[in-house]
Structure 1
Amino acid sequence: MAGEKFGLLASALAALALVGCAAMGTGDSSGAALDGVGPTAAKRFEAVRHSPPALRAFLYRMPKGADLHSHLTGAVYAETYLRLAAAQGLCFETGTKFLVLPTKAAPCGDTTGSPRPAAGVVIADPTLYPVALDALSTRDALPLSGYSLHDQFFSTFGRFAAADGAVGDLLAEVVDRAGRQGEQHIELMVSFQTRTAAGIGKSQPWTDDLPAMADRLIAAGLADVIPQARADIDAAESWMRSLLGCGTPAAKPGCAVSVRYLQQVSRTQGPGAVFAATLFNALLAVQEPRVVGLNFVAPEDNPTALADYDRHMRMIAETRRRFPGTNVALHAGELTLGLVPPEELRNHIRKAVEIAGATRIGHGVDLMLEDDPRGLLRGMAARKVAVEINLTSNDLILGVAGKEHPFPLYRVAGVPTVIATDDEGVSRIDLTHELQRAVTEFGLGYADLVGLARASLEHSFLPGGSLWEEGCGTAASDACRAVLERSEKARVQWRLEEALRRFEREVGEGKV
């Protein structure tokens, strides 16, 4: 086993010598020339970039880094939820378009207007089936008077919630889709036992003395919930591996993907619930290495989310003071003019970075509507705060796309950027689709795409030092060998570099 390990390290170091560890520098994905960008693949990319079908096929095969902004329940397609609902004996309520549990008062029936058996919707009703698919996603959604695409997007989560408890099934779909597209790593937003933690918060009288409130919440038993959360993760991953055939000759591509979790906090709850869930998620991350951080979720324009925004940032700051190693990625700036009053657009990104200490920002769309946006950009670039760009989501929810999107402004300012999916099932997309949008809307080249892939791993919350640390310049470097020995992040980064070199060969052989 020791010899096998040494052989793997030697191969890794040889790959590094070809790639050149100085290529990444600060982890920026600005599109500057990068060592290790295959000329054959770059030439093929230019040949297909103006043919959408050929470009899609090329990008699907191209190795990718990480999807760092993905909500597990939103990443699952509506077809899967209907299949799970049928297996669980759920109903589809035709009026509200919710998946619901049958009750004595409202059993699944066949009469018009009553809840319909989900199995019947899936199998037997050609009229109701597409209605259900549309209700559980943004498929064919059109903005109607009084009901926007923004509202349709967020309404889907409540509609399929009755079927989203089969976490292992959800993981199997999402992780295998990632593997089939050549993704090396994925960080999924999840909620293992956060409802229980929030319940503890609701049971305690609230005070804005956050240190005292934190003491009270922790004393009320937040740590007691951790064993069940870890058991839930174990069970979900065990079922996922079983479905994917991991460890067998029939293993599916998802088995090769590195998976970690960001625990969610719903920002639309009362302050006790929000603070308790935040503290619990940090406590869980201390004891459970598969949990690598936390994020606040739900519509940023929700009245409670807006009214409590400053308080939420202080809650995160207090949590980080108690648990200094807590990784924080925050939805911030998922707003635009017209969705909220202009006064609400002035400082959400800045407060997420400067008060809450977020090292990744999700969306960041209202950048230029913030106070002193140029100063904000300089500060984010200096701190290397990465922005998770979700192009289709921003288009659907906010109506912001193309020249209206700040993606190029971040890149020009030297702020690290990564491309992510947000909710690929609800949006009916995948990561390949988002990369294709980035190419067609912003003129990215192959070197840009390689830079984005590398940046996504550089700014992941995987433990350990970066492959691109000083000392990784030659195959004989003891420092580089030490990085690979101790760092999971470096090993996943090496895997991407190996995949890029293999892709270059395959393009040259006419296989792509």
Structure 2
Amino acid sequence: MGAATLLSVSGAHAATPSISEVYNHVQNDPVRLNMFLRAFPKGADLHNHLVGAIYAENMLDWAARDNLCVSLKEKRILDHACTHPGDEEVPAAELSHHADAENVLIDALSMRDFVPSSGDASGHDHFFATFARFGAIEDAHAGDMLAEARDRAARDHVTYLELMISPGIGPMIGAGFHHPLKGDDLPTAHQALMPEVPALVQKARAETDQMEAQAKNVLKCGTPQAHPGCAVTVRYLFQTLRTLPPQAVYAQLDAGYATVKADPRFVGLNIVAPEDDPTAMRDYDLHMRMFHFLNGVYPSVKLSLHAGELTTGLVPTDGLRHHIRAAIDVAGASRIGHGVDVALEDDPASLLAEMARLHVMVEVNLTSNDEILGIKGAAHPFPLYRRAGVPMALSTDDEGVSRGDLTQEYVRAAQTYNLSYADLKTLSRTGLEYAFVPGESLWTDHQPGQFVSACRTLPVASASCTTFLKSSEKARLQWALEQRFGTFEATVTHEGLYQ
């Protein structure tokens, strides 16, 4: 009698099912699928803007703690206490007694219950408008934000976070305005900025120190009361803004590169803000040339660039022809964020083949792409990237604004694209494989599941594997993920709720 049909002595129980059989059993049951995927180990969230990761309720709580005022007319948090409280301005601390007003603000600070209207016509505009509405509390609560993001990641069984942050960016922008950029004369711009860069880097590092100290205090790391978030590994991408004049963008990039080189907590660089903004569209190629130049000034800084977060409804068709390709070929990006318009680029087949050959990974943000661009389901290039063999990992983008988490992205991918358990495991592993955390990979030739020769003894590390793991932070995180998979799979295959 085969193992698959072997019954116990009582005849009451079948043999333990495989993990794939358990997954297949719950795949079409939304409640149990969500339970299954919430406990599912997730390697990394590589596309996560810290300021957008925060829920509106927390923003309003911090505003109340700081005795700030909220404007019901402008639907935003103000940077001062109320001077004339009334129908249009209310102390944030009093919102708990005004449920209707509090709900209006939560909707304005997030995508909750968004419905297009004459004054708020698109998900794209509403989404990006939220950031200005809670900007008043960002600086004072960066550490609270970090603590929230880490705790949510822990609850979501995420091993590693690569958060986009912009410490010290104001002085960097200001420095740019002191040094006008003349066309493409980037070497002169660099020389003019050089005397100011050390102080700009120090400012960025000091703000990061302050953020981390505040987060450690909130999470109680190092104490018996430590939050689960303390165990989540975190690194940062320095994010720069693309919607400013060229000299201000250049100064951010130059100082951002220098910050990454100086501080190992920063593992790469990105450029953010709406790609369809007129300034961002006009200067896109100039920005790519800035990256190309700075790659020579600061060798080995890694880039993950927002590119292709566009549709025909946002920009003219000429604007869809080359952004992803330029981010790779000119700027030297090794990861692409979004990449939604890839099929509309010039010669998409050769672009996809190049991405597969060079192992350029795409950070896929399914919920965000739906809410901002209206792209979902069969209209999303997720299946196209899979067919072309381009590596992908799921990420959240702005999970607080979107009212979700990484589990939501896995559930959405599983249900929309009929993914197998093996597919989901590959997505999870791929996140860590293409993370910018330093060290050699546990996998051979970017092939998750194909262990390097030193480490083919899971779950117990051999002497040679232990030596290898000590030499590589990335491999240690990958090994930990594999151990988590072992525990998860052993647990769920014996859980009666999934049978």
Q: Tell me whether the two structures share a fold, i.e. TM-score over 0.5.
A: yes
Q: Hey, what does 2:207 align to over in structure 1? A: 232
SS at match of 1:127: helix
Indicate yes or no: 2:451 matched with 1:472: no
Identify which of structures 1 and 2 has the higher relative contact order when contacts are C-alpha pairs closer than 8 Å and 6+ apart. 1
Aligned ranges 1:419-438 → 2 under 5 Å: 419-438=394-413
Aligned equivalents of 1:120, 1:477: Cα separation in 2 = 60
Deviation per residue, 1:398-441 (Å, 9 max, x gap): 00000000011111111100000000000001100010000011
Per-residue deviation, 1:253: 1.5
Equivalent AA in structure 1 for residue 110 of structure 2: S
Q: Which residue of 2 aligns with 1:144?
A: 117
Match of 1:180 among 126, 138, 155: 155
Superposed, 1:225-374 pairs within 5 Å as 225-374=200-349
Shift of 1:478: 6.7
Deviation at 1:144, TM superposition (A): 2.0
SS at match of 1:362: strand
Give, in angstroms, the shift of residue 40 of structure 1.
2.8
Residues 59 and 175 (structure 1), Cα distance of their counterparts in 2 relative to 1, 3 Å cut: same
The equivalent residue for 1:11 is none
Equivalent residue runs for 1:446-461 within 5 Å? 446-461=421-436
SS in 1 for 2:491: helix
Whether the aligned pair in 2 keeps the contact of 1:335 and 1:398 (CA below 8 Å) is yes
Could you say which residue in structure 2 is the equivalent of 1:58?
36
Find the partner of 2:193 among 203, 217, 241: 217
Q: Which residue of structure 2 lines up, in the alignment, with residue 193 of structure 1? A: 168
Question: Equivalent residue of 1:201, what SS?
Answer: helix
Could you tell me how far apart the structure 1 residues matched to 2:305 and 2:163 are? 13
Match in the other structure for 2:357: 382
What is the 5 A alignment of 1:47-126?
A: 47-102=25-80, 107-113=82-88, 115-121=89-95, 123-126=96-99
Looking at structure 1, the residues matched to 477 and 116 of structure 2 have their Cα atoms a distance apart, in angstroms, of 42
TM-superposed deviation, 1:264: 0.8
Match of 1:508 in 2: 493
CA 1:272–1:187 in structure 2 vs 1: closer, same or farther (change >3 Å)?
same
Amino acid at match of 2:113: D
- Counterpart of 1:257 in structure 2: which amino acid? V
Cα deviations across residues 71-97 of structure 1 (Å, max 9, x unaligned)? 001000000000011111111111111
Which whole-Å CA distance do the structure 2 matches of 1:128 and 1:266 have between them? Answer: 32
Which ranges in structure 2 are unaligned for 5 or more consecutive residues? 1-15, 445-451
1:108 touches 1:117 (CA, 8 Å); kept in 2? no
- Alignment partner, residue 374 of structure 2: 399
Task: Give the TM-score taking structure 2 as reference length.
Answer: 0.91
Kindly tell me: are residues 507 and 204 of structure 1, through their superposed partners in 2, closer, same or farther at Cα, counting changes over 3 Å? same
Kindly state the Cα deviation for residue 477 of structure 1 after the two structures are TM-superposed.
6.9
Give per-residue Cα distances to partners, 1:287-321, cap 9 Å, x unaligned.
11101111110000000000000000001111111
Aligned to 1:156: 130
The residue type equivalent to 1:260 in the other structure is R
1:42 aligns with 2:24: no
CA contact (8 A) 1:471 1:479 kept: no
| Separation of aligned partners in 2, 1:127 and 1:199 | 40
Q: Which residue of 2 aligns with 1:27?
A: none
Question: Which residue does 1:444 correspond to in 2?
Answer: 419
Q: Once superposed, which parts of structure 1, at least 4 consecutive aligned residues long, lie more than 6 Å away? A: none
Query: What is the deviation of 1:330?
Result: 0.5
RMSD: 1.6
* Matched AA of 1:370: E
- Comparing 178-187 with 235-244, greater Cα deviation is found at 235-244
Residues 1:411 and 2:393 aligned together? no
Q: What is the percent sequence identity of the aligned residues?
A: 48
Deviation at 1:248, TM superposition (A): 2.1
- Read off the aligned partner of 2:454 and give its amino acid letter: C
Alpha carbons of structure 1 residues 192 and 435: separation in structure 2 relative to 1, 3 Å: same
* Contact preservation (8 Å) 2:147, 2:229: yes
8 Å CA contact 1:89, 1:119 repeated in 2:
yes
Which residue does the alignment assign to 1:15?
none
Superposed CA deviations along residues 360-404 of structure 1, whole A, max 9, x for unmatched, are 100000011100000000111111000000001000100000000
Give, as a single letter, the amino acid of the residue that structure 1 aligns with 2:167: F
3-state SS, counterpart of residue 18 of structure 2? helix
**Across the two proteins, how many residue pairs are aligned to each other?**
469
Deviation per residue, 1:141-198 (Å, 9 max, x gap): 1122362110000000000000112111001111110011110000000011122111
- The answer as to whether partners of 2:394 and 2:410 remain within 8 angstroms in 1 is yes
Are the counterparts in 2 of residues 109 and 117 from structure 1 also a CA contact under 8 Å? no
Is 1:487–2:480 an aligned residue pair?
A: no
Q: Is the 8 A contact 1:108 1:116 kept in 2?
A: no
Shift of 1:108: 4.2
Alignment-derived partner of residue 100 in structure 2: 127
Asked if structure 1 preserves the Cα contact closer than 8 Å seen for 2:175 and 2:251, the reply is yes
TM-fit CA distance, 1:217: 1.4
How does the TM-score come out when normalised to structure 1?
0.89
AA at the equivalent of 2:107: D
